[in-house]
């Protein structure tokens, strides 16, 4: 799995840290550290984390060998608008 | 008569595009080109043998040992299986007349339109024999990070970090987390001085010292000394002292990858490749090109918030936004062109503190603490330029930055109205203490590079200048 967090957009709500603690953790009060290449077994947890991010900063790609199965969260247009 | 719309449709169907640079900007541009309906031949050239990967984790999660260097490949937002990826092959030249990119393996790729996204590389230790000593590292690529991580796993006795910019400071933070003894040298008066100024940089310096870093400002490394086996043993400092170290990480900023454009007649040089707000490259005479676009760290572009000065930003968010604008403009008509004028933003994580920035701090002459507590490392500082708010920086107060972003976008007066009640009124702006524009620092994440696309400093000199020309020119720590 491939995970990317737009840390310009991240506001440290930490929803992902509760839903997928294996992959997301807060350092100090609001700095997010994450695993950019987590195990496929965590798919469901990470999908939930991405979906529940209040600022939609998490992007996920599942490497199933089929491009049309890609699932993602967050949009590039929103990033551009945000000035990320 | 041939209609322009027909030409564009034909190009989108049967044309060819080459993207030189297969990192964040190159990937995002590739995605947007396909998303916006470019169905022609798309070739991406990258000098590293890897699919595009994310670099910010390298100096943090990867160095800390939490994430493997190989696990940083960027997710794709669009299927890209029909793209011709030429990875592990550097571009070596551009022939504008023949519309060909020359490659290191002797081949060439022709194109109708091209995007330059070759980014920057690490500035290595200038003395080559010393740079080759075992134990001397830089961190820019995935391979760099893997090698340094392996070394840190051997529990070195003393790590020296040369240069207290963002990368150097983040790596010092990771080394302290790993329980290693760390010395950081910085030639300026404080860490992060090029990006945040000396006033706020000194707070970052306090942070380092509180976390046990032996921070030596106003100090440069004069020599790295090896033993008979060519292994690093000792560093010599400008104050005459020496220190026994077994690892030295060179964090002296970066060099823009534009050498391959020498002779191309584009406005390319040490400061980057000059382009307009629509990401089209200038040629060496200051004439805009129609089919050559630029994005990411290597681009220098005019920004209306900063008096249309050409700026170069080594920011993750800039690479994304500029690549998206460039790709959009490559496959759309003149009337649909989009400017790249988003407000610059970046983040850094060090010593448990989330540092975030919006706007362009180095453009400022003054800075003021707007809210929070400097002592607790939870505050927001606003930066002003001639009475206008131009930037804001937060330490562990990131949620306030959107408030300041709006002020910056609307050119609000400086100092602005505070959004909270926790600082005494009136506010007291102080000098921001940025180094002079020609003073070398190791924090070149933002370079104000002047106005004219054909300024002499933007073209190649036959010999490297003896003294650095701009902020980004670095030099010894």
CB B210 within 8 A of CB B219: no
**pLDDT at A66 exceeding the cut of 60:** no
CATH topology of domain B345-431: Enolase-like; domain 1 (3.30.390)
Q: Do B225 and B235 form a contact (C-beta atoms < 8 A)?
A: yes
Q: What is the DSSP letter of B212?
A: T
- B177 and B66 Cβ atoms separated by less than 8 Å: no
Q: Does A34 touch chain B (CB under 8 A)?
A: yes
Cα distance between the two ends of chain A: 23
- Domain A2-82 classified CATH 3.40.640.10? no
Phi, psi (rounded to 5 degrees) for B176: -65, -40
CA distance B455 to A1: 46
CA distances from A55 to A36, A50, A73, B329, B408 (A): 18, 10, 10, 28, 21
Query: CA–CA separation, B162 vs B204, rounded Å?
Result: 16
pLDDT in the model for residue A73: 44
What distance in Å separates the CA atoms of residue B159 and residue B175, rounded to the nearest whole number? 8
Q: Does domain B4-54+75-121+255-336 have CATH number 3.50.50.60?
A: yes
B185 backbone dihedrals φ, ψ, rounded to 5°: -110, 145
- Tokens representing residue B328 in the block: 């959009």
User: From B397, which residue of chain A is nearest by alpha-carbon distance?
Assistant: A30
Tell me the C-alpha distance between B450 and B33, whole Å.
31
- Lookup result for tokens 């650095």: B468
CATH number of B122-254: 3.50.50.60
H or E element: which one contains B394? Answer: strand B388-395
Enumerate the H helices of B395-434 as residue ranges: 401-409
Predicted pLDDT of residue B439:
53
Mean pLDDT of chain A: 81
SS3 state of residue B401: helix
Chain A CB contacts of B69 below 8 Å: none
Residue A79 contacts B where some CB pair is shorter than 8 Å: yes
Three-state DSSP at B265 gives coil
Bridge partner residues of B221 (DSSP): B237
Instruction: Read off φ and ψ for residue A32, nearest 5 degrees.
Output: -95, 130
Contact at CB, A34 and B61, closer than 8 angstroms? yes
Where are the domain boundaries for CATH 3.50.50.60 in chain B?
Answer: 4-54+75-121+255-336, 122-254
Rounded CA gap, B302 and B300, in Å? 7
Report pLDDT digits (tens) over B15-34: 999 999 999 999 999 999 99
For CATH 3.30.390.30, the residue range(s) in chain B are 345-431
Q: What distance in Å separates the CA atoms of residue A35 and residue B311, rounded to the nearest whole number?
A: 32
Asked if the peptide bond before residue B463 counts as cis, ω within 30 degrees of 0, the response is no
Closest residue in chain A to residue B80, using alpha carbons only = A67
At residue A57's C-alpha, the angle toward residues B120 and B362, to 5°, is: 45
Contact at 8 Å (CB) between B89 and B48?
no
What CA dihedral angle connects B141, B58, B49 and B134, to 10 degrees? 50
CA separation for the pair B277, B294 (Å, rounded): 10
Residue B344 near chain A (CB below 8 Å):
yes
Q: Rounded CA gap, B201 and B156, in Å? A: 28
- Whether B67 contacts chain A with CB within 8 A: yes
Cα–Cα distance measured from residue A20 to residue B220, given in angstroms and rounded to the nearest whole number: 44
Phi, psi torsion values for B446, nearest 5 degrees: -130, 130
Q: Mean pLDDT per 10-residue run, chain B (477 residues)?
A: 87 98 98 97 98 97 97 93 96 97 97 98 96 97 98 98 97 98 97 95 97 98 97 98 98 95 92 95 92 97 89 95 98 95 95 96 94 93 96 96 94 89 76 73 51 47 37 34
Best mutation target among A12, A24, A80, A82 (most B Cβ atoms within 10 Å) is: A80
A18 touching B, CB under 8 A?
no
**Could you tell me how far CA B466 lies from the centroid of its own chain?**
24
Provide DSSP, B82-128: TSEEEET--EEEEETTTTEEEETTS-EEE-SEEEE---EEE---SSH
Give the bridge partners for B17, in sequence order: B42, B113
**Which of A31, A37, A60 is nearest residue B353 as measured by Cβ atoms?**
A31
- Domain ranges for chain A, please list them: 2-82
Cα B32 to the chain's mean position, in Å?
A: 22
Beta sheet of B288-294, edge-to-edge order: B84-87, B41-46, B16-20, B113-116, B288-294, B280-282
A21 touches chain B (CB under 8 A): no
The ipTM, to two decimals, is 0.88
């Amino acid at each position: 799995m491939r995970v990317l967090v737009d840390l310009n957009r991240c506001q440290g709500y930490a929803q992902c840290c509760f839903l997928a603690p294996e992959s997301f953790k807060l350092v100090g009060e609001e700095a997010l550290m994450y695993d950019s290449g987590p195990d496929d077994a965590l798919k469901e947890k990470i999908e939930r984390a991405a979906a529940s991010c209040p600022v939609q900063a998490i992007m996920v790609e599942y490497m199933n060998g089929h491009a049309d199965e890609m699932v993602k969260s967050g949009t590039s247009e929103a990033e551009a608008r945000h000035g990320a | 008569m041939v209609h322009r719309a027909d030409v564009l449709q034909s190009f989108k169907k049967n044309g060819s595009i080459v993207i030189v640079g297969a990192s964040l900007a190159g990937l995002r541009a590739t995605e947007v080109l396909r998303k916006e309906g470019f169905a022609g031949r798309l070739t991406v050239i990258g000098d590293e043998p890897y699919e595009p990967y994310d670099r910010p984790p390298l100096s943090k999660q990867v160095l800390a040992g939490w994430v493997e260097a190989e696990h940083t490949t960027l997710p794709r937002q669009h299927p890209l299986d029909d793209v011709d990826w030429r990875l592990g092959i550097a571009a070596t030249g551009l022939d504008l007349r023949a519309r060909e990119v020359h490659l290191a393996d002797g081949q060439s790729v022709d194109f109708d339109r091209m995007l330059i996204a070759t980014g920057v590389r690490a500035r290595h230790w200038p003395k080559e024999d010393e740079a080759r000593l075992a134990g001397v590292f830089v961190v820019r690529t995935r391979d760099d990070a893997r090698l340094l991580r392996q070394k840190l796993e051997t529990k070195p006795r003393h790590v020296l970090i040369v240069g207290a910019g963002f990368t150097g400071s983040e790596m010092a933070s990771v080394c302290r987390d790993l329980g290693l003894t760390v010395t950081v040298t910085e030639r300026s008066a404080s860490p992060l001085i090029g990006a945040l100024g000396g006033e706020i940089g000194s707070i970052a310096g306090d942070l380092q010292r509180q976390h046990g870093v032996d921070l030596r400002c106003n100090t440069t490394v004069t020599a790295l000394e090896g033993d008979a086996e060519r292994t690093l043993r000792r560093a010599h400092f400008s104050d005459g002292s020496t220190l026994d170290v077994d690892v030295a990480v060179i964090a002296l900023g970066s060099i823009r990858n534009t050498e391959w454009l020498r002779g191309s007649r584009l406005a390319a040089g040490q400061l980057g490749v000059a382009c307009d707000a629509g990401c089209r490259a200038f040629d060496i005479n200051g004439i805009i090109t129609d089919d050559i676009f630029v994005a990411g760290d290597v681009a220098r572009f005019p920004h209306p918030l900063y008096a249309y000065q050409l700026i170069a930003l080594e920011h993750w968010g800039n690479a994304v936004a500029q690549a998206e604008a460039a790709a959009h403009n490559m496959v759309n008509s003149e009337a649909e062109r989009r400017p790249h004028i988003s407000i610059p933003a970046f983040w850094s994580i060090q010593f448990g503190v989330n540092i975030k920035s919006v706007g362009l701090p180095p453009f400022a002459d003054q800075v003021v603490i707007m809210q929070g507590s400097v002592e607790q490392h939870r505050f927001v500082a606003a930066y002003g330029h001639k009475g206008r708010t131009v930037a804001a920086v937060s330490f562990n107060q990131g949620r306030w930055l959107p408030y300041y972003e709006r002020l910056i976008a609307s050119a609000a007066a400086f100092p602005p109205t505070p959004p909270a009640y926790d600082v005494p009124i009136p506010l007291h702006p102080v000098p921001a203490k940025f180094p002079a524009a020609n003073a070398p620092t190791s924090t070149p994440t933002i370079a104000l590079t002047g106005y004219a696309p054909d300024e002499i400093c933007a073209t190649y000199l036959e010999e490297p200048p003896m003294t650095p020309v701009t902020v980004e020119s670095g030099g010894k720590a």
